[in-house]
Structure 1
Amino acid sequence: MKNNYMYWSPLCLRLIVGFGFMAHGWAKISRGTAGFEKLLIQTGVPMPHLMSIVAPYTELIGGFLILIGLFTRWVSIPLIISMLVAMLTVNIHYGFSSIKTIGLTPAGPLFGPPGYEINLLYIACLLSLMITGAGALSVDLLMVNTKTRVEL
């Protein structure tokens, strides 16, 4: 493997994006998907029961695959779609900023609903991974290197 920064920068993106998607997917699954289904019904997402199951597992499994760098370019597509749907159905109504301080309590700041900033950041990271590939310490790179060695 080349000693080049372009092989290492995707690793940084993969670690945070993969973990982030896994955390969000697991949060929806661990509490039961019924609460998430109610949110989908309120926002008018079609087939809310099916989507309340598909979306969290897409985030959990897709996040894991991004984390380990397996099929990174392909897995990014459903995750981008997930972010676009969340952005256009929920977050778009709250403006751009992901952090809205709406008050201060004795326990600390009080935050309002998040805008679409985080969605765009996830989408940008996934697009970057689609362009650059998974980079260093990824299963994708390991498979390419193994295939190259076998062909030689």
Structure 2
Amino acid sequence: MTSSPNQHLHDSTLTAARTLLRLVIGFLFAAHGWQKYFEWTIAGTQGAFAEMGIPAASLAAPAVATLELAGGIALMLGLLTRPVAALLALDMLGALVLVHATGGVFVANGGYELVLALGAASAAIALLGAGPLSLDRLLFARRRSVRASAAA
């Protein structure tokens, strides 16, 4: 089966789109995780989570901060992309349901527009995977090819 010049253009466009999406969404999550750790502090984030009514705020705050910081970096690198992106999508679903749904759409009113966008982008990354420009491809593509050769 041969590929057409249009297929190469499609593949390179998809690679660029996946990479751009991972880098931008990863950066935003890492920035929010950094903020929870170093600007607000974990104790401050725990207090804020408790005020917002988030269950188990003393456990949730460091877990969310770590997920967002480490997960954002992992997305930028394309490392463990699908599971990390799925966890970040769940993180944003929790933020939407537990905190932002009653604020309406707009973030200026405490609404859900940002968490909805971040959650949808994370879900898309989980569905699409990291793509060729990623550590996932570098680290795990060889294992897939070895397994495929062994199965043949």
Determine whether 1:60 maps to 2:56.
Answer: no
Mapping for residues 1-152 of structure 1, pairs under 5 Å: 3=8, 4=11, 5-31=13-39, 32-98=41-107, 112-147=108-143
Distance apart, 1:143 and its partner CA: 2.4
Q: Is the 8 A contact 1:9 1:135 kept in 2?
A: no
Distance 2:81 2:96 in 1: 22
Task: Provide the alpha-carbon RMSD of the alignment.
Answer: 1.9
Show CA shifts across 1:30-88 (max 9, x none): 03111111111112211111111111011001111111001111111221121112112
Normalised to the residue count of structure 2, the TM-score between the two structures is: 0.81
Q: Which runs of 4 or more aligned residues in structure 1 lie more than 6 Å from their structure 2 counterparts after TM superposition?
A: none
Deviation at 1:149, TM superposition (A): 5.9
1:36 counterpart letter in structure 2: T
CA distance in 1, matches of 2:54, 2:18: 32
CA distance in 2, matches of 1:18, 1:114: 22
Q: Percent identity among equivalent residues?
A: 32
Q: Secondary structure at the match of 1:62?
A: helix
Question: What letter matches 2:27 in structure 1?
Answer: F
Q: CA deviation at 1:144?
A: 3.8
**Greater strand percent: which structure?**
1
Greater helix share, 1 or 2?
2
CA distance in 2, matches of 1:83, 1:149: 35
Gaps of 5+ in 1: 99-111
- Count of residue pairs brought into register by the alignment: 138
- Contact conserved, 1:40 with 1:48, CA < 8 A, in 2? yes
TM-score by length of 1: 0.81
